[in-house]
Homo-oligomer: A and B are copies of this chain.
Amino acid sequence: MLNNGGVTLGVGDDAALFGETLVAKDIMVEGVHFTKGAPFLHIMRKIVTANVSDIAAMGGTAEYGLLGIAIPEGYDVNAEDIVKPFEMYGVKLIGGDTTSSQDSLFVSVTIIGRKNQHVLQRSGANAGDVIYLSRPVGRVRELLEQELAGGDTYNHYLIKAETELGDLLGRTGLATSCIDVSDGVGRDASHIADKSGVCMVIEESRFPVEHLHVKGDAVMFALGSGEEFALLFTVAEKDISELEMLAPSAVRVGYVETGSGVYLEREQGRVDISEKGYEHTY
């Protein structure tokens, strides 16, 4: 949908761009994206985060929000729980629609933002670039598995989008490509690889897993953790010292080369991880 009557980027990137405006829209459904017992504030936090993250992944700044919500009878919705997650990101809630629902809770959020000087796309990575993660991943999967095993830890809903970093990358143009980790690093990296026509190599020796408590292959576990909302981005070799000064918590995890696909470089050789992702469905 390139340059289609003013819409410069459409379906396929994280958000849609027209003129100076970026728009992202997500829906979340009870029993599909969250369990029945999940606290409403947590659900709202996660859906607002997912949308704000889509804007951040394009280097933009989230500004306005619209909420659509269908509420089953007897479900307790607190107005403050609706407003807080938007406020947390400095997003003004400007409208929406509330209705009843027969069965499940449905939540739909639209976030409207403004682009910065540079629009980060999935298509800009070049051979020789370095791959960064804005922060270590894997903790969301750990917490989700605890919840599914019967623990009532809903903390993984509270993960924050990388709004400051998205804004920084959009202002400086330091990233050649960017995506937010929603399907898992392997699968999200393959979107960059496909759109940019390059091969993405993740180096196991650099991949941070010290923060995880999983038994077994912690790197593979972390690569398959979705809805992390970390940013995965590429930087030209000449810009990495500046990037590391401006974004000191970003972690260098690999490099881009000619070719295609996504691989994990282990001591014993390369493993295809392009399908190493996470299913959004429980």
Which residues 3-20 in A have Cβ within 8 Å of B in the complex? 4-7, 10-11, 15-16, 18
Contact of A1 (CB < 8 Å), options: B32, B94, B106 = B94
Which residues 88-106 in A have Cβ within 8 Å of B in the complex? 92-97, 99-104, 106
How many A residues have CB within 8 A of the partner chain?
47
- The secondary structure that dominates the A interface is strand
A26 contacts B97, C-beta separation under 8 Å? yes
Q: Mark A243-281, 1 if CB is under 8 A from B, else 0.
A: 000000000000000000000000000000000000011
- Assuming A102-B32, A103-B103, A104-B104, is B27 touching A66 (CB within 8 A)? no
Contact of A104 (CB < 8 Å), options: B18, B92, B102, B108 = B102
Could you say which residues of chain B place their CB within 8 Å of the CB of A96?
11, 25
- Assuming A25-B66, A69-B27, A112-B23, is B106 touching A33 (CB within 8 A)? no
With the chains together, A93 CA to B21 CA distance in Å?
Answer: 15
Given A7-B94, A16-B66, 5 additional A-B pairs, CB 8 A: A10-B94, A27-B97, A66-B110, A100-B281, A108-B108
A68 within 8 A of B: yes
Shortest C-beta distance, A109 to chain B (Å), equals 9
| 14 residue pairs from A and B, CB less than 8 Å apart | A16-B66, A18-B63, A18-B64, A23-B94, A23-B110, A25-B66, A25-B97, A25-B110, A27-B68, A28-B99, A29-B100, A31-B102, A32-B101, A32-B102
